[in-house]
Amino acid sequence: MLRVQSDPFDPGSELSAFAQGRTDIGAVVSFTGVVRNTDGALEAMEIEHYPGMTERAIGRIMDEAHNRWNLSDVLVIHRHGPLKPGEVIMMVATASAHRAAAFAAADFLMDYLKSRAPFWKKETRSHGENWVAAKDEDEAALDRWT
Amino acid sequence: MMDVLYFAWLRERIGLPKERVETEAATVADLVEELKVREERYAMAFADTSSIRVALDQELADFSAPLAGVREVAFFPPMTGG
């Protein structure tokens, strides 16, 4: 399941509801992305996205995860709009019969969401605004899966 | 006619999120050259295309890709999701 939304969400309750009541699942792995403020200067973050392409791109990445691993279910929730430090940006959860597939698929989904889902982060800091630059290592991380 | 969309700092530099463009450009690169000669703000925004990505009808594409039949072209910086 995929949700792209501006509203906040509770990753704990989403995870509880994910894959609930199924007995074919032996492993659930989840990742939650949070707005960090390690230097204390971040005041706000704005996430811009490309409506339509966002859903298509993430949907394709989820399909690819299903093709590569034997997954029972996949959940991606990604927010856009204004966020404050400490707020949840997004979450990924994967469910499988065994943990290896669930871990690998969650790792794969995160690598691709970072560099292939059309989101752009803008930070407002005490000294001004800046667009977060993509990191070379994030692009290089995709090579692990080819 | 096609819709041309801009995101993130490209949108800010050009000053609008979307416009209708009348063009005979054969490829994305040709369209970029047409836009660059329009006005200084386009020339500034497209000065370094190595830091720009393009999507044709919401699919990532190369600057050498043909525009025949394309309805929506989007330009944006490398994505920073997750």
What is the value of ipTM here, to two decimals?
0.95
Q: What's the CA gap between A146 and A90, in Å, rounded?
A: 25
User: How many contacts (CB atoms, under 8 Å) link A and B?
Assistant: 70
Question: Per the CB < 8 Å rule, is B77 touching A120?
Answer: yes
In chain B, the residue whose alpha carbon lies closest to the alpha carbon of A106 is B82
Predicted TM-score (pTM) of the model is 0.95
Inform me whether the C-beta atom of residue B5 falls under 8 Å from chain A C-beta atoms.
yes
B 32-61 residues with CB < 8 A to A? 55, 58-60
Question: Per the CB < 8 Å rule, is A52 touching B82?
Answer: no
E strand or H helix that includes residue A138: helix A136-141
Question: Per the CB < 8 Å rule, is B79 touching A110?
Answer: no
Average pLDDT over residues A52-69: 98
Q: In this structure, is the dihedral angle defined by the CA atoms of residues B36, B37, B38 and B40, taken in order, positive or negative? A: positive
Q: Is A138 exposed, middle or buried (0-12, 13-18, 19+ CB in 10 A)?
A: middle
Instruction: Identify the residue among A60, A120, A130 best suited for mutation to test binding to B, counting B beta carbons within 10 A and taking the highest.
Output: A120
Q: What's the CA gap between B46 and A69, in Å, rounded?
A: 40
pLDDT band of A128, cuts 50, 70, 90? very high
Question: What are B24-49's pLDDT values in tens digits?
Answer: 999 999 999 999 999 999 999 999 99
Question: Using an 8 Å Cβ cutoff, are A45 and A122 in contact?
Answer: yes
Question: What are B43-81's pLDDT values in tens digits?
Answer: 999 999 999 999 999 999 999 999 999 999 999 999 999
Question: What are A37-59's pLDDT values in tens digits?
Answer: 989 999 999 999 999 999 999 99
Contact residues for A122 (Cβ-Cβ < 8 A; gap 6+)? A45, A46, A47, A48, A129, A130, A131, A132, B8
Helix pair angle (A99-116, A53-68), 10° resolution: 150
Neighbour tally for B82: CB within 10 Å: 20
Neighbour tally for B8: CB within 10 Å: 24
Chain A residues inside the 8 Å CB shell of B11: 48
Question: What are A70-90's pLDDT values in tens digits?
Answer: 999 999 999 999 999 999 999
pLDDT at A19 over 90: no
